[in-house]
Amino acid sequence: MRTLLGRLILAATMFAVFAGAAAWAADVNDLLFEGADHHFRGLVDQAIVKFQEALRLDPENEYAHNQLGILYAKKERYDDAFREFSKVVEIDGRNTFAHLWLGILYLRKNDLDRGFTKFNEVIALDPGNADAYYFIGAIYNIRHNPVKAIEYLKKARDADSEEAETHYRLGTAFSNLDMVHNALLEYDRTMALKPTHTKAMNDMGWILYNQGKVDEAVDEWKKVLETNPKDRDAQSNLAKAYGDMALKLQSEGKTKEAVRYWKQMLSVQPGNKAAVYYLKKYQ
């Protein structure tokens, strides 16, 4: 009798444990799914609530901590974000996503050395991590060390060739070394992935301009203004190109033609002092 009762209790307990575990798993996964959905839809506060609830059921859920980290960063609660990512690293030191974000948050705090170290830690854990290579390449780019930037950005590109920013930064590094074919290739790739990448168009324009392909350069910058009429770089670039042409014509005594370019300069940069002055003088 005691044995039967014992078996029944055991069976009931086992059922409760398994049913509970199944319900728990379903609840956590539902919460994670809903949190991810809210997050994607930009419902930051609602997503935070879902992931916090998930963590009450499963305090060591790395995904929930990581998502909360990003959501807190979006709310500019950077210390809380840092705490969440640090927690993930504590739970599992191999979570490269959390390491990466810690590195990004170090950069946000202007801590170059710690950021750099973090990204290297990610590479040590995952030698195929495109993001870590990208950040190290970007850091070298920012330190104007194009040789090292190229080395790392190429690794980022080879690990994941679908990131427009990787191609763009690689383009700027090549351009910094006057490797124009490579620079143009990477800018082309940037725009194939993101046709509205105005920075790539602006930089590409300068390569063409420096090669003497002034009309092509001007077309490139005009394209930028079609994408974003307020793009200050494109406005300055066009103004510079028109100004150069106007000054050249002026020095050759071709005032009439020069006036045409001063007018164009003024159209892209209303109030441009040089254009205003010369138009007043020659018109």
145 binds other proteins (CB under 8 A): yes
For residues 66 and 90, what is the distance between their CA atoms, to the nearest angstrom?
Answer: 12
Helix count and strand count (H, E) for the chain: 15, 0
Piece of the chain touching other proteins by CB under 8 A; list 3-11, 52-60, 62-70, 252-260: 62-70
282 binds other proteins (CB under 8 A): no
116 binds other proteins (CB under 8 A): yes
272 binds other proteins (CB under 8 A): yes
Taking CB under 8 A as the criterion, the residue among 28, 70, 89, 245 binding other proteins is 70
Q: C-beta of 145: minimal distance to other proteins in Å?
A: 5
Residue number, 12 or 92, with CB nearest to other proteins: 92
23 binds other proteins (CB under 8 A): no
179 binds other proteins (CB under 8 A): yes
Per DSSP, the residues of 135-204 read HHHHHHHHTT-HHHHHHHHHHHHHH-TT-HHHHHHHHHHHHHTT-HHHHHHHHHHHHHH-TT-HHHHHHH
Residue from 8, 195, 225 nearest 187 by CA: 195
Q: C-beta of 196: minimal distance to other proteins in Å?
A: 14
Residue number, 165 or 257, with CB nearest to other proteins: 165
CB–CB of 135/119 below 8 Å?
A: yes
Residues numbered 37 to 56 that lie near other proteins (CB under 8 A) are 37, 40, 42, 44
239 binds other proteins (CB under 8 A): yes
283 binds other proteins (CB under 8 A): no
For residues 254 and 124, what is the distance between their CA atoms, to the nearest angstrom?
Answer: 63
Angle formed at CA 237 by CA 140 and CA 218, multiple of 5 degrees: 115
277 binds other proteins (CB under 8 A): yes
Piece of the chain touching other proteins by CB under 8 A; list 4-12, 15-23, 49-57, 143-151: 143-151
What is the residue whose two structure tokens read 């801590």? Answer: 111
